[in-house]
């Protein structure tokens, strides 16, 4: 069958290999038939509740196989799913719900308290319906429950109006916003399908693969885990959230699941290397290890390559706005030293990496410039935010492939003499930590809402060992708030920003250092926070 929508991958596998295992999480196993049948039933319930083409459905659900069924069902209705992090503060989640205006929120007992708290921030005139993804009725006030999981067992299936538009939005992924309001990236079916077709061919994925699912479902790395597995008829092994980043437990999960492919952010792999969690010649079934989202320190990469000589290692690069990844580089041999640069490589099929100056002209090879991306991976921009879309999606002269937009990544790069592209950091105050993109301005806005803080700055710094960038907070307090309880402040800040955006180091100063033009001297602050011994948060 022709693949124009992401759920068509599952439909095809349900026809070819209905009884093959599709998803595994602990003792739970779902076949491709299970995914197809159950998502059909839920799609019917969504349709009967008024969900139609162009609508949004928010997923306030834990990471588990049932959530994948919800994703498929939403797309079968012609709608777009909006996966949300149920560990985020209620106020932050409410901003994403207010921005995306979902017709329905699919929720679960694990998000019941959060859902109830969100109601405090939503306008009374625009409260979405709730689909309860468990048996029985929830104890909710202020919401109308359209259906629950019991109804999936008795619903009569309906025929759906075919929707074959590959440029329709499949999902909206929220990223950090500098003003404190998260930005929703509109990712189309075509965006994902194009990348998945290239990647499954390049990596040689097939029905015998056992693919990792470590990333949270609201994180774009999970998109390739899910649809790469489904496109190949492979097994997706979802890492339980409770093993988190515990090095030995992650290694045991990789080994026990007999994974053939692992995909995660480098900070996790670096953390495992620091604790020496990988034995020599471990994970004999593994054939490829992929990373994306931040720089992988060469020292940690060498550690992994030395211990898993049978594995192929590939660096993928690309922001959410360009769909999963836009470039790749498979490391040909173990780097000789810890200082050896690992490139972000060359463009994936249908994409191009452009290194330009401030006049949008190419810089000479070897010189550092602004990194732009062009091609099939570019998303439709930010949901209902044309101003921010226009800031980073720039119009240029249309090329022979019909592409007239380029995306400004905010990263700096150069092209080496080997023809490969090398990353040279950020040009702004946006950083990546643990694979998540964090706008430092959003964290600063959150800090300024805490009583007693007169002035603050949030800066990235290089932490010890093989970790990537971390975040530090520098505070100037009002006179009546001297010697603040920094541990309590960290807890207060967690009400406004997600856990991964919480600063790892806190420093109180009498005044901010400033440069000649009166601006805060952030370079000085970075040096101070790097040398500062952090307060224990245990």
Distance of CA 336 to CAs 83, 273, 305, 339, 342, Å? 41, 17, 11, 8, 11
- Taking the domain 32-164, which CATH number applies? 3.40.50.980
In this structure, the number of other CB atoms found within 10 A of the CB of residue 153 comes to: 8
Nearest of 330, 289, 329 to residue 307 by alpha carbon? 289
How is the chain split into domains, by residue range? 32-164, 191-426, 430-530
DSSP assignments along 245-256, one per residue: T-HHHHHHHHHH
At residue 413, the 3 state secondary structure works out as strand
Q: d(Cα 131, Cα 21) in Å, to the nearest integer?
A: 27
Contacts of 145 (CB under 8 A, 6+ apart): 129, 130, 131, 132, 137, 138
3-state secondary structure 44-63: HHHHHCCCCCCCEEEEECCC
Domains 191-426 and 430-530 equal at CATH topology level:
no
Q: How many CA atoms lie within 13 A of 19 on its CB side?
A: 0
Find the helix or strand (DSSP H, E) in which 524 lies.
Answer: helix 522-530
- Taking the domain 191-426, which CATH number applies? 3.40.50.12780
β-strands 453-462, 469-477 pairing: antiparallel
Question: Longest Cα pair distance anywhere in the chain, in angstroms?
Answer: 71
3-state secondary structure 111-149: HHHHHHHHHHHCCCCCCCEEEECCCCCCCCCCCCEEEEC
Q: d(Cα 335, Cα 301) in Å, to the nearest integer?
A: 8
* The pLDDT value given to residue 255: 97
The conformation of residue 520, written as its DSSP 8-state character, comes to: B
* The pLDDT value given to residue 442: 86
Q: d(Cα 134, Cα 147) in Å, to the nearest integer?
A: 10
pLDDT in tens, the chain (538 residues): 689 999 999 999 999 999 999 999 999 999 999 999 999 999 999 999 999 999 999 999 999 999 999 999 999 999 999 999 999 999 999 999 999 999 999 999 999 999 999 999 998 888 999 999 999 889 899 999 999 999 998 998 876 666 778 999 999 999 876 666 789 999 999 999 999 999 999 999 999 999 999 999 999 999 999 999 999 999 999 999 888 778 999 999 999 999 999 999 998 999 899 899 999 999 999 999 999 988 898 999 999 999 999 999 999 999 999 999 999 999 999 999 988 999 999 999 999 999 999 999 999 999 999 999 999 999 999 999 999 999 999 999 888 888 899 999 999 999 999 999 999 887 777 787 777 888 888 899 899 889 999 889 999 888 755 446 789 999 999 888 878 888 899 999 999 999 889 999 999 999 889 875 667 888 899 999 988 876 444 3
DSSP assignments along 316-365, one per residue: EE--GGG-S-SEEEE--S--SSTT-----BEEPTTEEEEEE-TTS-BPPT
Nearest of 482, 499, 410 to residue 446 by alpha carbon? 499
Domain 430-530 has CATH 3.40.710.10: no
At residue 38, the 3 state secondary structure works out as helix
Q: d(Cα 217, Cα 235) in Å, to the nearest integer?
A: 17
Distance of CA 189 to CAs 18, 51, 221, 488, Å? 23, 18, 16, 44
* The pLDDT value given to residue 466: 46
For the entire predicted model, the pTM comes to: 0.88
**Cross-strand pairs, 455:** 476
- Name the one residue in this structure whose structure tokens are 């969504």: 46
Q: How many CA atoms lie within 13 A of 288 on its CB side?
A: 22
Phi, psi values for residue 192, rounded to 5°: -70, -45
Burial class of residue 349, CB neighbours in 10 A (0-12, 13-18, 19+):
middle
């Amino acid at each position: 069958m022709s693949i124009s929508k992401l759920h068509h991958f599952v439909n095809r596998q349900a026809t070819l290999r209905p009884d093959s295992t599709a998803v595994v999480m602990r003792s739970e196993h779902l076949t491709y038939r299970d995914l197809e049948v159950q998502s059909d039933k839920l799609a019917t319930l969504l349709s009967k509740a008024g969900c139609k083409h162009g609508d949004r459905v928010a997923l306030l659900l834990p990471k588990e196989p049932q959530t994948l069924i919800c994703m498929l069902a939403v797309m079968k209705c012609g709608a777009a799913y909006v996966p949300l992090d149920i560990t985020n503060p209620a106020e932050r989640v409410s901003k994403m719900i207010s921005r995306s205006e979902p017709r329905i929120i699919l929720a679960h007992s694990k998000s019941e308290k959060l859902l109830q708290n969100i109601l405090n921030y939503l306008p009374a005139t625009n409260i979405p319906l709730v689909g309860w993804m468990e048996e029985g009725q929830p104890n909710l006030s202020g919401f109308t429950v359209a259906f629950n999981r019991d109804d999936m067992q008795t619903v009569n299936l309906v025929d759906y109006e075919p929707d074959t538009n590959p440029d329709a939005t499949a999902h909206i992924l929220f990223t950090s916003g500098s003003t404190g309001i998260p930005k929703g990236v509109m990712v189309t079916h075509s965006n994902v399908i194009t990348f998945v077709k290239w990647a499954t061919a390049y990596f040689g994925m097939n029905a015998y693969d056992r693919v990792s699912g470590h990333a949270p479902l609201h994180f774009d790395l999970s998109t390739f885990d899910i649809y790469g597995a489904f496109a190949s008829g492979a097994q997706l092994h979802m890492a339980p959230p409770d093993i988190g980043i515990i090095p030995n437990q992650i290694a045991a999960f990789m080994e026990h699941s007999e994974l053939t492919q692992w995909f995660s952010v480098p900070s996790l792999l670096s953390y495992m290397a620091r604790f020496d969690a990988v034995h020599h010649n471990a994970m004999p079934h593994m054939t490829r290890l992929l990373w994306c989202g931040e720089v992988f320190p060469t020292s940690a990469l060498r550690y992994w390559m030395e211990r898993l000589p049978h594995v192929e290692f590939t660096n993928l690069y690309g922001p959410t706005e360009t769909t999963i990844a836009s470039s790749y580089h498979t490391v040909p041999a173990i780097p000789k030293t810890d200082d050896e640069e690992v490139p972000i490589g060359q463009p994936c099929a249908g994409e191009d990496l452009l290194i330009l100056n401030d006049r949008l002209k190419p810089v000479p090879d070897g010189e550092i410039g602004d990194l732009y991306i062009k091609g099939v991976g570019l998303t439709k921009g930010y949901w209902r935010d044309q101003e921010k879309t226009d800031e980073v999606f720039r119009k240029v002269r249309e090329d022979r492939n019909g592409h007239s937009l380029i995306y400004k990544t905010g990263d700096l790069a150069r092209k080496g003499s080997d023809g490969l592209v090398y990353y040279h950091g950020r040009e702004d105050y946006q950083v990546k930590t643990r694979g998540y993109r964090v706008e430092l301005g959003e964290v600063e806005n959150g800090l300024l809402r805490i009583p007693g803080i007169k002035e603050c700055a949030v800066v990235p710094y290089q932490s010890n060992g093989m970790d990537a960038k971390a975040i530090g907070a520098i505070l100037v307090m009002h006179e009546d708030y001297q010697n603040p309880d920094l541990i309590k402040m960290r807890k207060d800040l967690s009400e406004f920003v997600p856990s991964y955006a919480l600063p790892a180091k806190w420093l109180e100063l009498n005044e901010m250092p400033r440069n000649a033009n009166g601006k805060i001297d952030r370079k000085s602050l970075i040096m101070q926070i790097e040398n500062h011994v952090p307060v224990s948060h245990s």
